[in-house]
């Protein structure tokens, strides 16, 4: 009886989904070719062409040796030097040109790949993998050859007790110490198939959003320790009109009995004691 | 989201199509070293367009096997959660659409 009921539901879903697919399937696939931008072919002005064809060039920078580049990138992930958010590695959303951004990445030996164009914007991605499990992928949104905003994916390395995280420039404690009390903090959980937890921090004045998320790091009591959790992902949005920003969760004040100031104080204190209890009833 | 994922399994187990979809996965760019879909292949790590839940994971895989990878790729395709601004997202979108067109004849007239 139960089986036939399930089959009935699946048949209905099948009909509905088939109807959806018949409308949504495109006759051709999305262009998969990604164009790598070389520093000598940097577009400085917008063109009518769908591809970023160069019209003017900047002087290409000298590329660092791989070891030097790795050290520089490591330093940039540990502490931003002379470049406060929403500036990222010297790229200031709303000001930096695509050409200038390409030069910054080229100096580090990183390739800038053109990936997509839509809504008068063009998208570029830049990836880097360390020997450890740490990796980064930066996604630039450009309009009229100006970097409008960027999204950075960091896959953290496996944390070891007593060893500072390699991405500490984007850790909760660093951001609060550096930029002050966040505008908002919210939390998201899900219970299956793997337990999922995410904490979003918003710094509106800096046009900065950071999301920390991970699987299998929470239990049913929802005691969370953001400074010591092994997150699977740290995502950063910088600049105005962020693309695909994180979905909203349950605000700190509703999820806990803490104020934003109390939360900030907790996050900048002893890391081993920086834990808080979320109200279970708010997440069930 | 889970029903999309399970429906992906159903397609991959339909008569004449057993493991056709999952078997075509050949170390694709949209599957990470951990065996799950890469973060950048999806717009969001969580989906909030389900009125019955505060948030639902865009990864519904219970294991990091090809059958689960296919089911998750299909689920994110149906949910509109594939990030077309990244290389791995585009690869995933093209893989799913190619496999559906090749194996499930649909009259689009």
CB atoms under 10 Å from CB of A239, counted, come to: 25
Residues of chain B contacting A18 with CB distance shorter than 8 Å: 106
Q: Which of A25-39, A57-71, A151-165, A207-221 has the lowest mean pLDDT?
A: A25-39
Cα-atom radius of gyration of chain A, to the nearest Å?
A: 22
- Chain A nearest-CA distance from B27, in A, is 16
Q: Quick check: B80 and A20 in contact, CB under 8 A? A: no
Q: Where are the alpha helices (DSSP H) in chain A?
A: 2-24, 66-78, 98-107, 172-179, 252-255, 260-267
Cα-atom radius of gyration of chain B, to the nearest Å?
A: 13
Residues of chain A contacting B78 with CB distance shorter than 8 Å: 17, 20
CB contact under 8 A, A193 and B60: yes
Q: Quick check: A186 and A283 in contact, CB under 8 A? A: no
Task: List the beta bridge partners of residue A97.
Answer: A146
Tokens for B40, please give them: 């950048």
Tokens for A189, please give them: 């959980």
The DSSP 8-state label assigned to residue B22 in this structure reads H
Q: Which of A56-60, A118-122, A133-137, A225-229 has the lowest mean pLDDT?
A: A56-60
Please give the helix or strand (H or E) that residue B23 lies within, else none.
helix B20-23
Give the Cα separation of A72 and A76 in Å (integer). 6
Residue A44 has pLDDT above 70, yes or no: no
Q: Where along chain A do its domains lie?
A: 5-154, 171-283
Q: Which residue of chain A is at minimal alpha-carbon distance from B42? A: A244
Q: Which residue of chain B is at minimal alpha-carbon distance from A136? A: B40
Best probe of the B interface among A25, A123, A233, by most B CBs < 10 A, is A25
Its sign, for the CA torsion B64, B73, A212, A156, is positive
Q: Which of A33-37, A208-212, B17-21 has the lowest mean pLDDT?
A: A33-37
Tokens for A106, please give them: 């080229």
Residue A193 binned pLDDT confidence (cut-offs 50, 70, 90): confident
Residue A111 has pLDDT above 70, yes or no: yes
pLDDT digits (tens, 9 = 90+) for B38-93: 999 999 987 766 666 667 889 999 899 999 999 999 999 999 999 999 999 999 99
CB contact under 8 A, A116 and B60: no
Mean pLDDT value across residues A230-250:
94
CB contact under 8 A, B87 and A13: no
- Chain B nearest-CA distance from A73, in A, is 20
Please give the helix or strand (H or E) that residue B57 lies within, else none.
strand B56-57
Q: Which residue of chain B is at minimal alpha-carbon distance from A6? A: B3
For A111-137, the DSSP string reads PEEEEEEETTEEEEEEEEE-SSS-EEE
DSSP strands (E only) in A121-275: 121-129, 135-143, 146-155, 184-190, 196-203, 208-215, 223-224, 233-239, 250-251
Mean pLDDT value across residues B5-20:
96
- pLDDT at position A62, please? 85
pLDDT digits (tens, 9 = 90+) for A242-255: 999 998 899 999 99
- Chain A nearest-CA distance from B23, in A, is 20
CB contact under 8 A, B108 and A25: yes
- Judging by beta carbons within 10 Å of its beta carbon (0-12, 13-18, 19+), is residue B48 exposed, middle or buried? middle
- pLDDT at position A276, please? 94
Secondary structure of residue B66 in the 3-state scheme: helix
Give the Cα separation of A175 and A226 in Å (integer). 13
- pLDDT at position B54, please? 63
CB contact under 8 A, B55 and A116: no
């Amino acid at each position: 009886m139960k089986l036939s009921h399930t089959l009935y539901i699946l048949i209905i879903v099948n009909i509905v989904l088939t109807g959806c697919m018949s409308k949504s399937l495109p006759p051709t696939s999305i262009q998969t070719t990604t164009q790598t931008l070389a520093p000598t072919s940097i577009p400085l002005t917008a063109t009518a062409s769908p591809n970023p064809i160069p019209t003017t060039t900047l002087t290409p920078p000298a590329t660092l040796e791989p070891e030097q580049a790795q050290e520089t990138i490591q330093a940039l992930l540990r502490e931003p030097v002379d470049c406060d958010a929403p500036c990222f590695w010297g790229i200031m959303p709303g000001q930096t040109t695509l050409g200038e951004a390409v030069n910054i990445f080229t100096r580090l030996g990183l390739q800038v790949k053109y990936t997509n164009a839509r809504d008068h914007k063009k998208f570029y991605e830049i990836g880097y993998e360390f020997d450890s499990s740490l990796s980064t992928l930066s996604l630039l949104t450009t309009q009229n050859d100006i970097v409008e905003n960027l999204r950075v994916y960091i896959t953290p390395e496996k944390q070891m007790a007593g060893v500072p995280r390699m991405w500490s420039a984007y850790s909760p404690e660093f951001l609060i110490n550096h930029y002050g009390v966040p505008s908002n903090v919210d939390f998201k959980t899900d219970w299956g198939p793997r337990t999922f937890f995410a904490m979003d921090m918003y710094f509106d004045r800096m046009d900065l959003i950071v999301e920390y998320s991970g699987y299998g790091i929470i239990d049913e009591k929802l005691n969370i320790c953001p400074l010591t959790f092994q997150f699977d992902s740290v995502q950063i949005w910088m600049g105005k009109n962020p693309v695909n920003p994180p979905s909203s969760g349950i605000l700190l004040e509703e999820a806990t009995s803490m104020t934003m100031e109390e939360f900030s104080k907790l996050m900048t204190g002893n890391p081993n004691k920086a834990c808080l209890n979320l109200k279970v009833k708010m997440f069930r | 989201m889970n029903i999309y994922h399970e429906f992906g399994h159903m397609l991959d187990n339909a008569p004449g199509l057993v493991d056709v979809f999952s078997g075509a996965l050949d170390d694709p760019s949209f599957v990470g070293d951990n065996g799950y879909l890469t973060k950048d292949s999806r717009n969001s790590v969580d989906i909030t367009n389900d009125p019955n839940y505060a948030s639902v994971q865009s990864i519904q895989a219970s294991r990091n096997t090809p059958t689960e990878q296919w089911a998750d790729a299909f689920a994110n395709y149906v949910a509109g959660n594939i990030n077309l601004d990244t290389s791995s997202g585009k690869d995933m979108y093209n893989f799913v659409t190619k496999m559906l067109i090749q194996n499930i004849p649909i009259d689009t007239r």
